[in-house]
Structure formats: structure tokens, C-alpha cells
Amino acid sequence: MKTLQEMREIVERGEAKLLTIEAARELKGKKIQTIYFGYEHQDGTDEFMVGDLVSEWEYYRNLKEDCYPDEKGHQNRTEYWASFMTPHQIKRSKEQLELLDAETGCPTFIRYTPDDDFENDHVMWCSDVDRGVLYIMAE
């Protein structure tokens, strides 16, 4: 795995590609290394095998967590969310796509959210919606 500094240099040379939802679907089953640029140089890099794209809502509806069912009878996190979220928040959770690691089935924290206020051309993000994730094929 390349270091964060090596990944920054790859980006500077124009050798990294923006990760879009279309690219993620094409890369399913392949290992990539990603870089995202965070606020105040809180950048990060990760390497994983690309898995499924699932809605945040569906992921947490199907996730088995020890805290559910809870004392109020919620069977999963989305039932709990539905007890207090607005219809708009629920809609956003259903629209937000989470990229999963194929080997672990866990979220990579790379996501795509349609945004009426920001034209993002299906670019996936990690720290902020306006900071696209870039990737290279892992060695």
C-alpha cells in the first residue's frame, strides 16, 4: 500500500481517477487504493476490494447489532431512525449509497448522495460532498 504522501504525489501527477458510482460498479471485486482530501489536511488513504453499493437505509436495516431489538421494540437502526427522522431525512438515507468492502462487507465510508445544491456528476465522497475520492488500482 502506498503512503499518503505517495498518493498525494500520484494525484498531483494526474494519475489518479475520480471514483464515481459507475466506476465503483465496474471495479466490483477489484482491489483499489483511495485518497480523499479532508479539512485542514486531514487527508486519508485506504486500500480495499470494491464491493456492493447499497443505500445507507438498507445497510442499517439489515445490519445485525447487539443493541436491537431495543427497549422500545425497534428491530434495527432504521426502525429507530424512522421513529424521529423527518420524511426528508429518511428519503436522503434511502438515496445515499454506501460503498462496501467486498472482503468484510463493511462500509468504507465512501458514499454518494444526490445533492440538489451541488452538481457532483455521480462522484463519490468521504469527508465532504464537495471533496471527491480519487483512486488507483492497488498493486
pLDDT tens sequence across 7-66: 999 999 999 999 999 999 999 999 999 999 988 888 999 999 999 999 999 999 999 999
What is residue 4's predicted lDDT score, i.e. its pLDDT? 97
pTM value?
Answer: 0.91
Q: What gap in Å lies between CA 59 and CA 54, rounded to an integer?
A: 6
Q: How many CA atoms within 13 Å lie on the side-chain side of 5?
A: 0
Phi-psi group of 54: left, alpha or beta (phi > 0 → left; psi -120 to 50 → alpha; rest → beta) = beta
Contact status, residue 68 vs residue 54, Cβ threshold 8 Å: no
Give, as one character, the DSSP assignment of residue 32: E
Phi-psi group of 71: left, alpha or beta (phi > 0 → left; psi -120 to 50 → alpha; rest → beta) = alpha
Q: What mean pLDDT comes out for the span 66-90?
A: 97
Say how many Å lie between the first and final Cα of the chain, rounded: 7
